[in-house]
Amino acid sequence: MTATAEAAPTQVIPLQDRPPRRRLTPYWLLLPGLAWLVVFFVVPMVYQASTSLQTGSLEQGFQLTWHFSTYWDALSEYKWHFVRSFGFSAIATLLCLAIGYPLAYTIAFKASKRWRNVILILVIAPFFTSFLIRTLAWKTILSDSGPVVETLNALHLLSLTDAIGLTTGQRLLATPLAVICGLTYNFLPFMILPLYTSLERIDPRLHEAAGDLYARPFTTFRKVTFPISLPGVVAGTLLTFIPASGDYINAQLLGSPSEQMIGNAIQKQFLNVLDYPTAAALSFILMALILGMVTVYMRKAGTEELV
Amino acid sequence: MTEQLREAATAGGDVRLTGIGKTYGAFTAVQPLDLTVPQGSFFALLGASGCGKTTTLRMIAGLEEPTSGTVLIGGQDVTALPPYKRPVNTVFQSYALFPHLDIFENVAFGLRRRGKKDVKKQVEEMLELVELGPYARRKPHQLSGGQQQRVAVARALINHPQVLLLDEPLGALDLKLRRQMQLELKRIQTEVGITFVHVTHDQEEAMTMADTIAVMNGGRVEQLGAPADLYENPGSTFVANFLGQSNLIPAEVTGSADGSLLLSAGGARLAMPKARCATEASSVYLGVRPEKITIAGADSEVAEGRNRITGTVVDSSFIGVSTQYVVRAETGQELAVFEQNMDRDTRLTPGAPVVLHWNPAHSFGLDAAQAIDAGTGEAAA
């Protein structure tokens, strides 16, 4: 008995004395990911950063001249594109939250196990067709003689949206509302899935406990369920807002030139105008603005305590 | 705080269940049962998992809707009331503390929902009562299991419920802590005088804490009574085996004399008090608790008038305060014997012939029509 007790503890080898190969294992495991990031993220970023500071033209070639005023010029020329980008995506994100939260809540708490899987599959089913095809389909849905416009017209709702500037001329297509609808539709799954994961983890007994402690069902939601699901809300809004801000397909297909978002501007500069420095500068401005907003948002939401 | 709780307690916390039952489709979780929990008592619902004890508790809390019957609390019919309108609070099995709130806010939750003023003072007093004052600003996950359990109790008690419901509140704790918390809960209950209804599968826990135990089996209340009463006079083989350990010896009634039944069990002649026999049948089980039996070498003298069975030691295990023997008796069963370690007879090793004897007054009788191993755990599996 005593003999085995003495023999056991001597097996622990301090970290620095372990064979070097074993110490390096974590780094070897990181290598593929790091290599991928360097080749496909860091290198293009540096290349784009340098492009944004070059001057010249396609015919004469571009030279790095540290021309910072490109940034200022781009920002002042396209400030309304930025405003529209963030405005449309913010509204779309709120709509996604309003549509996605009840749905995620139902899947997590109310649906039976079988229905849960069916609904989750339906949520991601749109991904089986291409983004482009789905957005084109919306063009048909919202078309001037389509059933949606006719119904809304019959209900005189289009006059209302006309009045607040979301639509113009009693039509949906080529209006801000159409772009917002497209964004909401396309990014809805990115809202639902994180919401579902965070709601699904909540112990149903917390609801019972709240009820037992005199909270009515709505108070239970306000004081218990929603605060605990906040990490999901934060993740969902980021996953919706960030890609929606940079999107250009929806504005391209469902909007008119006056609904153009910053993605459209960047695309045009890169592919049509061939003004690479301005395009690169716009990309960096977009990135910086999103980073800034996300930082403020995360601070406000106080997620570090919740996750 | 204690005085206020006492006031709430005397407001009347009788829990009266009449014909209350619950079925899920074809499955009956709780057979319609009547139960009265007197105000101020510590009442335990004891049974193996799936016996309907938790469902019964949840019906009192309003978390489960009964299929039949009514629930009365302090004379008020609460059957149709949602949980948030009932004068009861629950301590949940996994505590169900709100992970996003600190201890103070967890405890204050019920008060705030009812718009109470002066929350701070009450919460602080309540945290004092459960000895968690310094932990007010911690989050639940920063506390140990025992501390979380006390938060759960404080969170429920602060609302001055007429009845406190406890659903296996100590199930997640290790043995030592559980013993400590049993005494703690008992202390709090005595101090505040509120009716406690405690659900547990641990018979020792139920006996330590409760004034009255309802032993449940298969959705029915098998027997109800004070712990010592249930232990000494079990009414069924299930209770005999589930509460502690029993030796049950099949026997035939051969006659009776001065308030005693005379029995024959595989050649041995035994006796038991007529008053302690729960059946009129002629085929009975004679029961005797292992600690009531004296074990001695086969050649020992046995006083006249004691029940006496010879046998052979099959196994002996030394567990400190006592030694537990398994003896194969002449009647064919294996009998358990607990002997205090005062003067250990070193000859009592496996294979040794022995004589077991006990005072006939320590025997009880059960109807032999029941399964002999009901409630042993082997029968349940």
Q: Which of residues B201, B232, B263 is at a domain's end?
A: B232
* Residue-averaged pLDDT of chain B: 87
Count up the domains in chain B and report the number: 2
Judged by CB atoms closer than 8 Å, whether chains meet at B63 and A227 is answered as no
Residues of A in contact with B96 (CB under 8 A): 203, 205-206, 208-209
Residue B194 lies in a domain: yes
Largest CA distance in chain B: 77
Residues B144 and B31 in one domain: yes
Question: CA geometry: angle at B81 spanning B79 and B87, to 5°?
Answer: 95
pLDDT at A6 over 50: no
- CA-to-CA distance for A208 and B62, rounded, in angstroms? 10
The band of A29, judged by pLDDT with boundaries at 50, 70 and 90, is very high
Give how far A235 is from chain B: nearest CA, Å. Answer: 17
Residue B206 lies in a domain: yes
The band of A73, judged by pLDDT with boundaries at 50, 70 and 90, is very high
Does residue B110 contact residue B90 with C-beta atoms inside 8 Å?
Answer: no
E strands present in chain B: 15-24, 27-37, 42-46, 68-73, 76-77, 88-91, 163-167, 195-200, 212-217, 220-225, 247-257, 260-265, 268-273, 283-288, 294-297, 307-318, 322-329, 334-340, 353-358, 364-367
pLDDT at B380: 41
- Mean pLDDT for B233-247 is 90
Listed in sequence order, the residues at least 6 apart from A112 whose beta carbon sits closer than 8 Å to its beta carbon are: none
Residues B168 and B23 in one domain: yes
Q: Where are the alpha helices (DSSP H) in B140-174?
A: 145-157
One-letter amino acid identity for B288? V
pLDDT digits (tens, 9 = 90+) for B95-107: 999 999 999 999 9
Residues B312 and B201 in one domain: no
Provide Rg for chain B, Cα atoms: 24
ipTM of the complex: 0.79
Judged by CB atoms closer than 8 Å, whether chains meet at A203 and B94 is answered as yes
Is the pLDDT higher at A302 or at B112?
A: B112
Judged by CB atoms closer than 8 Å, whether chains meet at A224 and B98 is answered as yes
Residues of B in contact with A209 (CB under 8 A): 90, 92, 96-98
Q: Pairing between strand B195-200 and B163-167?
A: parallel
Residues B273 and B329 in one domain: yes
Ordered DSSP codes for A134-189: HHHHHHHHTSTTSHHHHHHHHTTHHHHHHHTTSSBTTB-TTSHHHHHHHHHHHHHH
Listed in sequence order, the residues at least 6 apart from A259 whose beta carbon sits closer than 8 Å to its beta carbon are: A84, A88, A174, A175, A176, A178, A179, A251
Closest Cα to residue A240, out of A125, A98, A56, A102? A98
With a pLDDT cut of 90, the percent of chain B lying above it is 30
pLDDT at A17 over 70: no
pLDDT at A20: 67
Residues of A in contact with B98 (CB under 8 A): 206, 209-210, 224, 228
Judged by CB atoms closer than 8 Å, whether chains meet at A209 and B100 is answered as no
pLDDT at B344 over 80: no
The band of A7, judged by pLDDT with boundaries at 50, 70 and 90, is very low
Residues B48 and B148 in one domain: yes
- Nearest chain A residue to B94 by CA distance is A205
pLDDT digits (tens, 9 = 90+) for B22-75: 988 888 888 898 999 988 899 999 988 888 899 999 999 999 889 999 999 888
**To which residue do tokens 């619902």 refer?**
B45
CB < 8 Å from A in window 145-174 of B: 155-156, 159
Residue B329 lies in a domain: yes
pLDDT at B6: 58
B54–A contact, CB cutoff 8 A: no
Chain B interface test: which of A205, A214, A219, A220 (most B C-beta within 10 Å): A214
Stated as kind and residue range, the H or E segment containing B13 is none
Residues of B in contact with A205 (CB under 8 A): 92-94, 96
Residues B134 and B267 in one domain: no
Residues of A in contact with B84 (CB under 8 A): 211-216
Residues B256 and B305 in one domain: yes
- What is the DSSP secondary structure assignment for residue B26, as one 8-state letter? T
Residue B59 lies in a domain: yes
Residues B266 and B225 in one domain: no
* Residue-averaged pLDDT of chain A: 88
The band of A2, judged by pLDDT with boundaries at 50, 70 and 90, is very low
Give how far A306 is from chain B: nearest CA, Å. Answer: 7
Is the pLDDT higher at B342 or at B150?
A: B150
Residues B302 and B224 in one domain: no
pLDDT digits (tens, 9 = 90+) for A240-283: 999 999 999 999 999 988 899 999 999 999 999 889 999 999 99
CATH number for B305: 2.40.50.100
Q: Which of residues B232, B257, B286 is at a domain's end?
A: B232
Residue B376 lies in a domain: no
Residue B373 lies in a domain: no
- What is the DSSP secondary structure assignment for residue B370, as one 8-state letter? S
**To which residue do tokens 């024959």 refer?**
B264
One-letter amino acid identity for A158? L
Mapping DSSP to helix (H, G, I), strand (E, B) and coil, where does residue B227 land? helix
Residues B336 and B195 in one domain: no
pLDDT at B188 over 90: no
pLDDT at A105 over 80: yes
- Nearest chain A residue to B116 by CA distance is A214
Residues of B in contact with A201 (CB under 8 A): none
The band of A185, judged by pLDDT with boundaries at 50, 70 and 90, is very high
Residue B372 lies in a domain: no
- CA-to-CA distance for B71 and B76, rounded, in angstroms? 8
Residues B266 and B183 in one domain: no
How many residues comprise chain B? 381
pLDDT at B179: 86
Range of the domain at B83: 2-232
Chain B interface test: which of A201, A213, A216 (most B C-beta within 10 Å): A213
pLDDT at A4: 45
Residues B222 and B297 in one domain: no
Residue B375 lies in a domain: no
Q: Which of residues B232, B253, B271 is at a domain's end?
A: B232
Judged by CB atoms closer than 8 Å, whether chains meet at A214 and B113 is answered as yes
Domains of chain A: 80-305 (1.10.3720.10)
CATH number for B213: 3.40.50.300
- Nearest chain B residue to A203 by CA distance is B96
pLDDT at A191 over 90: yes
Residues of B in contact with A219 (CB under 8 A): 113
pLDDT at B160 over 50: yes
